[in-house]
Amino acid sequence: MPARAAWKGFLHVSRLAVPVRAFSACRTTPEIPLRQLHRGCGERVREQRVCPVHGAVTSEEIVSGFEHEQGQYLMLDDDELAGLHPEDQKAIAVDCFVSQTEIDAVYHSGRTYYLVPDGPPGQRPFCVLREGMRQSERHAVARVVMAGREKLTLVRPLGRLLAMTVLEYPQRLRPADDYETEVAGISPGAAEAEMVGELIEAMTERELDLARYRDGYTDGLSRLIEQRLAEASQAIVDEQDDEAALVAALRSSLAAAVVEGAATRRSAPSRPLDDVAQRKSG
């Protein structure tokens, strides 16, 4: 379990308050993080917040703004924005319970959190609530403030946990009706309906094991990195071998030159000192 929870507070169901912690169900960083580098020198490129008038700015100098006309912004203080949220920002407030099939998956944003009891006092009410939802086949629709934004969520039993999935607000979804005209109103014939039914039945998994599915891009990226690192390591070894071979050749050449030089000096005829003196005086 991660050392730090993404959120801590209370799961409120009417007057029942269950202390819980929320852990992100998905990794928040890529399995293989890639950095942006300068192609010329290989150094990492740094991102910097810059004002075109005053240059680099700190996070304390940045406020939110709404562009009401092109190039014209209405600045909004953080306190003003914070006042738009519910007063209790440490609560998962359950509004109602619905059947398990009530909310279509199109509303799921893809962000899910695992809820667990926060300490021993929360264990029993947590388990009682979870089993009540499981036996009644109900899910909970709830609101929660996370990362400064109020989110609509769906809470459901998942093993011994509760899973909280962030939902998209209906206003953010494009209406499916807008695309109905793209599909022709064709009804299948009897033979077609029978054949497609048999095909679907033949391909139906009674117990689906999602663990068999892999992220092909991440696996391929891992193999690519291993291959490139192996090539780079081999290039270093080859370079070291070439350097060692060159050093050996130079050492051998130097030894041969020393031996040849000594042999040359031994074989050279000696001249009398008088003859040498005469040459210098001449």
282 vs 272: CA distance, rounded Å: 16
pLDDT digits (tens, 9 = 90+) for 220-249: 878 888 887 888 887 777 777 777 777 777
Q: Is residue 148 part of a domain?
A: yes
How many folded domains does the chain comprise?
2
pLDDT at 106: 93
SS (H, E, C) 237-260: HHHHHHHHHHHHHHHHHHHHHHHH
Q: What's this model's pTM, rounded to 2 decimal places?
A: 0.69
pLDDT at 36: 86
User: Which range marks the domain in which residue 260 is found?
Assistant: 220-268
pLDDT digits (tens, 9 = 90+) for 241-278: 777 777 777 788 877 777 676 666 666 665 555 554 55
Cβ(100)–Cβ(163) below 8 Å = no
Low-confidence ranges of the chain (pLDDT < 70): 1-3, 28, 85-88, 259, 261-282
The CATH number linked to 12 is 2.40.290.10
162 vs 24: CA distance, rounded Å: 12
pLDDT at 86: 63
Query: In the block, which residue shows the tokens 């009644």?
Result: 136
pLDDT at 278: 55
pLDDT at 71: 85
Q: Is residue 158 part of a domain?
A: yes
Cβ(141)–Cβ(154) below 8 Å = yes
**Shared-domain flag, residues 167 and 246:** no
pLDDT at 193: 93
**Shared-domain flag, residues 12 and 122:** yes
